[in-house]
Amino acid sequence: MAQETQGAEGTQRLERGEHITREITRIPQRFPPERVWLVCFAASLCLLALFAVSAFVLFRNGVGMWGNNIPVNWGLAISNYIFFVGIGHAGTLISAMLLILNEHWRNALNRFAEAMTLVAVICAGLYPILHLGRYWRFYWMAPYPNTMDLWPQFKSPLTWDFFAVLTYLIVSLLFWYIGIVPDLATMRDRSKKRRGQVLYGIFALGWRGSARHWQRWNQAYRVTAAIAVPLVVSVHSEISLLFAAGPIAGWTSTVFPPYFVMGAAFSGFAVVSMIAIVLRHAFGLHDVVTDRHLDLLAKLLLACGLMTSFGYVAEAFDALYSGEDYDVQTLVDRLSGQYAWSYWGAVILNFVPLQLLWWKAVRQKPVVLFVVGGCVVVGMWLERYMLLVTTLYRDYLVSSYGEYHASFWEWSLFAGMLGVFFTPFLLFVRYLPMISAFEIKEALFEDRGERKGKAGGASVHA
């Protein structure tokens, strides 16, 4: 009797797994919302063209095209850089951290979250080069033997940054890639057209699902995940050191690394929620990305938001407790100075709509979650802008006070950068399996027999 029910459940599980595989692998094959995709893709290509024009103008005329100057010499380029890296971190965290915690619900989200990480890191990586002025010498950051016998200054956070972001890019790419190989093999075997068979086939590396391969793959995948989590923390801590290692009032604070890491995760989870909502709506993936997934994402968002808000409090406390005149002055400038709109904008957009997520009914409403996510993205963008500008525009010497206003070309480059973000992401959505089908099946198998044991049961992961 027990054997029979087990058998029936096994068949049901197999059918469910097959249904999900078909649902996911069908998307790249017969893309249902082709027209909507084309419109989005055309728009993002326009933005990409705008990026090319803005970069060309910048390279021709130099950074004098921009509004940044002494004392505010970082401007939008660097605040956007931090914004994009920060978004990227959520993809790694959601995928790697939840993998090592064995949280199966990640399987519906990890693939596209990691793809988002990749494109975000590429956007971020471009900014420092564009901001460099002498962009043709960006490779001077790398230690290579040269006739001048010169080396990078390894005690500078700028060099740390180069190593951190490059490592992060390579690790994210490899982690994403070995995670997609088994699904590429599925695509290879399901493609009806020669071109698909060849292209998916090459990138699937001849994956045949051998148990001996899976065993090593599993070790490599999990150990990479375990390494990726501290990597995220190190990368964004390092970015905060770009600020904190300098003797600027309002930046030299030990609260910066955790404050930055939490803020990064916060903004990134907001973007992941927004992408999840859009994709599930566009492709009707309601049975894969369920309401429960949105609920969990919203909880993560709420938790990270509250931790980020603690960073705000700690930062203000730090300035007041130090009693340093310049630190207190910077705090006052933030609260009531010329750029107070960026401070209050960040506080309000980050933390006020967020409080709605205390209610479960709200968490499961995609539209509300999307709007809250959007507010957080804008709020966190303002936070980076605020941290940069409010600190730099009035430094120690009154004679060097100055203002910063982004020029047209900075805004156009930012808009263009969204094209750099969306173009590869849309191509990913169009041509690759955007949800990890084999990991969902793995989770279904591992959860056999404990359907009612865990909260939410089978709907958690599938």
Partner 1 sequence: MLEPNATEHETFGVLAEFPTAEALIDATKAAREAGYRQIDAYTPFPVEDVWKALEVKDNRVLWLTLAGGVLGAAGGYGLQVYTNLAYPIIVGSRPLVAPQAFMLITFEMMVLGAVLAGIFGMLVLNRLPRLNHPVFDAEHFGFGGKDRFFLIVFGNDPKFDEQSVRGFFDASGASGIQTIEHAEEPQ
Binding residues for partner 1, rule: CB under 8 A, are 6, 10-11, 14, 17-18, 21, 143, 149-155, 159-160, 163-164, 167, 170-171, 174-175, 178, 182, 185-186, 188-190, 201-202, 205-220, 223-224, 227-228, 230-231, 234, 238, 241, 438-439, 441-442, 445-446
383, 328 Cβ separation under 8 angstroms: no
Closer to partner 1 at the Cβ: 70 or 211?
A: 211
Min separation Cβ 53 and partner 1, Å: 34
Among residues 105, 118, 452, 124, the alpha carbon closest in space to that of 300 is found at 105
Min separation Cβ 136 and partner 1, Å: 23
Closer to partner 1 at the Cβ: 52 or 150?
A: 150
Among residues 135, 141, 133, 126, the alpha carbon closest in space to that of 83 is found at 126
Radius of gyration over alpha carbons of the chain, in Å? Answer: 24
Closer to partner 1 at the Cβ: 116 or 241?
A: 241
Min separation Cβ 299 and partner 1, Å: 28
Distance (Å, whole) CA 359 – CA 424: 35
204, 184 Cβ separation under 8 angstroms: yes
Distance (Å, whole) CA 383 – CA 79: 9
- C-alpha distance from residue 424 to each of 88, 125, 176, 408 (Å): 14, 15, 14, 25
Closer to partner 1 at the Cβ: 49 or 142?
A: 142
Closer to partner 1 at the Cβ: 11 or 400?
A: 11
**What does the DSSP assignment read for 371-415?**
HHHHHHHHHHHHHHHHHHHHHHSS-S-GGG-------HHHHHHHH
Min separation Cβ 8 and partner 1, Å: 11
Min separation Cβ 454 and partner 1, Å: 18
Min separation Cβ 360 and partner 1, Å: 32
* Other C-beta atoms lying within 10 Å of the C-beta of residue 33: 14
Min separation Cβ 143 and partner 1, Å: 6
- C-alpha distance from residue 441 to each of 179, 201, 238 (Å): 14, 22, 38
DSSP-H helix ranges across 245-284: 256-283
**What does the DSSP assignment read for 284-344?**
T-TTTS-HHHHHHHHHHHHHHHHHHHHHHHHHHHHHHHH--HHHHHHHHHHHHSTTHHHHH
Distance (Å, whole) CA 330 – CA 352: 24
Min separation Cβ 78 and partner 1, Å: 19
Closer to partner 1 at the Cβ: 222 or 365?
A: 222
Closer to partner 1 at the Cβ: 42 or 227?
A: 227
Min separation Cβ 118 and partner 1, Å: 15
Task: Give 312's contacts (C-beta < 8 A, 6+ positions apart).
Answer: 347
Closer to partner 1 at the Cβ: 318 or 442?
A: 442
Closer to partner 1 at the Cβ: 217 or 344?
A: 217
